[in-house]
């Protein structure tokens, strides 16, 4: 099922660096098609346990039939609460493959891709309150500028925002094609695909609060993991990777090194390798969407 739903990225690298204790307890925070979870289970003994999270209802159809496995239909930002109340002890490892699945991208009724028309939705959790259309039609100028500048690094964010505000006064913007037609004059002719990808990325991040979820996860990982436990994170754009890099190097999101009373750096994690692991050429050929992936692994001190 995972082959058609989503090809797992950096599968061997992310899991091989994660599972060090076959009898341990692990979390896969982005279950998707189950590819990473299945490989984690292959590394575990009969004593091992795997708990996987996914807030997308469609992912539940891929649940694995294994008595060591539990699939939780929930946002991974609540992983700490789950570990505290359902497991009751610190765990051995956490895997997070961030971003969206091929299944989500390829479904035109989800609105994630700019190359297919459909509702301007972008919700990973289809029961979530705000869609991309809600943001486009209801956010203030200040809020739209924040989204496009912070999450898409859009150079002409002011022109883009003004265009949206002027257009929505006459009629609401509900579909991908309506949105693209609305912002047509803002799109650079020489790099239209890249520009639209950045715009759609910024909206998707805001809709799903992806960076906030990641921040919560990183800070909670210090409490969830036991000493020697592993945190394995695959990111797909610089905003995500910067957060992970800062956290592993400094123990906080801002990347500022803090010191204790004796002048020693407070860094609860140690990076397993200096530079992130990226896909090899053969993986990129097999799965072009893996091109931007970066894997970082931290070890809890």
- Looking at the chain, the domain(s) classified CATH 1.10.150.170 span 107-208
CATH for 2-102+210-300, among 3.40.640.10, 3.40.30.10, 3.20.20.370, 3.40.50.150?
A: 3.40.50.150
- Looking at the chain, the domain(s) classified CATH 3.40.50.150 span 2-102+210-300
Q: What pLDDT sits at residue 265?
A: 78
Determine the angle formed by the axes of helices 141-151 and 157-168, rounding to 10 degrees.
Answer: 140
pTM (2 d.p.) = 0.93
Q: What pLDDT sits at residue 65?
A: 97
Q: How confident is the model at residue 52 (pLDDT cuts 50, 70, 90)?
A: very high
Q: Which pLDDT tens digit goes with each residue over 58-100?
A: 889 999 999 999 999 999 999 999 999 999 999 999 999 997 8
Q: Which pLDDT tens digit goes with each residue over 119-164?
A: 999 999 888 889 999 999 999 999 999 999 999 999 999 999 999 9
Q: What pLDDT sits at residue 2?
A: 47
Q: What pLDDT sits at residue 5?
A: 62
- Answer with the residue of higher pLDDT: 134 or 56: 134
- B/e letters for 79-109, b = 16+ CB within 10 Å, e = fewer, are bbebbeeeeeeebbbbbbbbbbbbbbbebee
Residue 180 to residue 177: CA distance in whole angstroms: 5
Q: How many Cα atoms occupy the beta-carbon half-sphere of 194 within 13 Å?
A: 8
When pLDDT is averaged across residues 199-226 and rounded to a whole number, the result is 97
Q: What pLDDT sits at residue 7?
A: 85
Q: What pLDDT sits at residue 166?
A: 95
Q: What pLDDT sits at residue 178?
A: 96
Asked if residue 1 has pLDDT above 50, the reply is no
The residues, any chain, with a CB within 8 Å of residue 186's CB and separated by 6 or more, are 156, 159, 160, 163, 195
Residue 152 C-alpha from the chain's centroid:
15
The two three-digit tokens of residue 109, written as one number: 């009724």
For 107-208, which CATH class? mainly alpha
């Amino acid at each position: 099922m995972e082959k058609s739903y989503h090809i797992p990225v950096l599968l061997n690298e992310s899991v091989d660096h994660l599972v060090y204790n076959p009898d341990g307890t692990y979390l896969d925070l982005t279950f998707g098609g189950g590819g990473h979870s299945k490989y984690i289970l292959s590394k575990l003994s009969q004593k091992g346990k795997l708990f996987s999270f996914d807030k997308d209802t469609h992912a539940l159809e891929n649940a694995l039939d294994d008595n060591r496995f539990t699939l939780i239909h929930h946002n991974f930002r609540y992983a700490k609460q789950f570990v505290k109340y359902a497991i009751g002890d610190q765990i051995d490892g956490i895997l997070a493959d961030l971003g969206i699945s091929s299944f989500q991208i390829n479904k035109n009724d989800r609105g994630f891709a700019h190359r297919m028309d459909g509702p301007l939705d972008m919700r990973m959790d289809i029961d979530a309150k705000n869609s991309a259309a809600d943001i486009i039609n209801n956010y203030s100028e200040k809020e739209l500028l924040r989204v496009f500048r912070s999450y898409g690094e859009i150079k002409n964010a002011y022109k883009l925002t003004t265009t949206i505000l002027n257009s929505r006064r006459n009629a609401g913007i509900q579909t991908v094609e309506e949105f693209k037609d609305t912002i047509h004059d803002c799109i650079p002719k020489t790099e239209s695909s890249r520009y639209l990808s950045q715009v759609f990325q910024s909206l998707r991040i805001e809709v799903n609060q992806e960076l906030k979820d990641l921040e919560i996860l990183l800070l909670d990982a210090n409490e969830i993991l036991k000493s020697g436990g592993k945190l394995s994170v695959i990111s797909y754009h610089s905003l995500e990777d910067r957060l992970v890099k800062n956290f592993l190097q400094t123990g906080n999101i801002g990347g500022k090194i803090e010191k204790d009373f004796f002048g020693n750096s407070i860094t609860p994690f140690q990076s397993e390798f200096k530079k992130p692991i990226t896909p090899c050429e053969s993986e990129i050929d097999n799965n072009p969407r893996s091109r931007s992936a970066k894997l970082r692994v931290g070890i809890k001190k």
